[in-house]
Amino acid sequence: MTIKEQTKSKMESTLDHLAKELGNLRTGRANPSVLDGVNVDVYGTNMRIRDLASVTTPEPRQILITPFDRSTAGPISKGIEKANIGLQPILEEGIVRVNVPPMDEQQRRDTVKFGKKKCEEAKVAIREIRRKSNEQLDADKDLTEDQIRGGKKKVQELTDEYCKMIDEMFTKKEKEVMTV
C-alpha cells in the first residue's frame, strides 16, 4: 500500500467518525441515533439500546423503543434518564416512548457550536495524518527529492479535499439543526 493510499484510508476513517458524531447531534426531529451513546445496565452487563430493542420513529417528534425482552423496558427507561441527553422516556406496558421536545434558539446555537467543534477536531486529525505522511515520505531513502515533493503535493491535495468535505458536512448539518 502506497503512502497516498494509507493517507487516504486514514482520512476516510476520520470522515466516517465525524459523520457518526454529527449524526448523533440533536435536531428538532426524532432521530434514533441520539440514543446510540446510551448504555443500559441489564443482565449484569452494560449494553446498547440497539442490542436490546428495535428503535423506530413513528412520528416526527417521537422515538418508540420496543424491547426484544419486555422485562428490559424499565432498565432502558432508566438508562435514557441517566444518560442526561435532555429526553424524558415514558414507560408503557413493555415499551418505551420518548417524546422529543422542540429545540429553542439557544439550544440550536449550542448544538451548532458543538458540531463546529467536532468538525475542527476532525480537521486537526486530518492535518495530523498529513504531517505523519510527510514524515514518512521524508524518511523513505528510496525516493528522490522530486518524488518526495510530488508525494507531499498529493498528500496536501488529499488534505484540502477532505477538509472541504468536512466543511460541506458541517454546512449541511448546520442547516438541518437551524431549520425550525
pLDDT tens for the chain, 180 residues: list them: 788 889 999 999 999 999 888 887 777 777 787 787 788 888 888 888 888 888 888 888 888 989 888 888 888 888 888 887 778 888 888 888 988 888 788 888 888 999 999 999 999 999 999 999 999 989 888 888 898 899 999 999 999 999 999 999 999 988 888 876
| Residue bearing cell 435532555 | 86
How many whole angstroms separate alpha carbon 68 and alpha carbon 72? 8
CB-based contacts of 33, cutoff 8 Å, min separation 6: 23, 24
3-23+104-178 and 32-99 agree in CATH topology: no
CATH of domain 3-23+104-178: 1.10.132.20
- Identify the sign of the CA torsion 143, 145, 150, 151: positive
The sign of the dihedral angle between the CA atoms of 31, 36, 39, 45 is positive
CB atoms under 10 Å from CB of 26, counted, come to: 21
Which stretches within 24-104 are classed as H helix?
49-52, 73-83
**pTM for the full predicted model:** 0.73
Q: What is the pLDDT of residue 50?
A: 86
CA angle 95, 98, 100 (to 5 degrees): 165
CATH number of 32-99: 3.30.1360.40
Domain boundaries, the chain: 3-23+104-178, 32-99
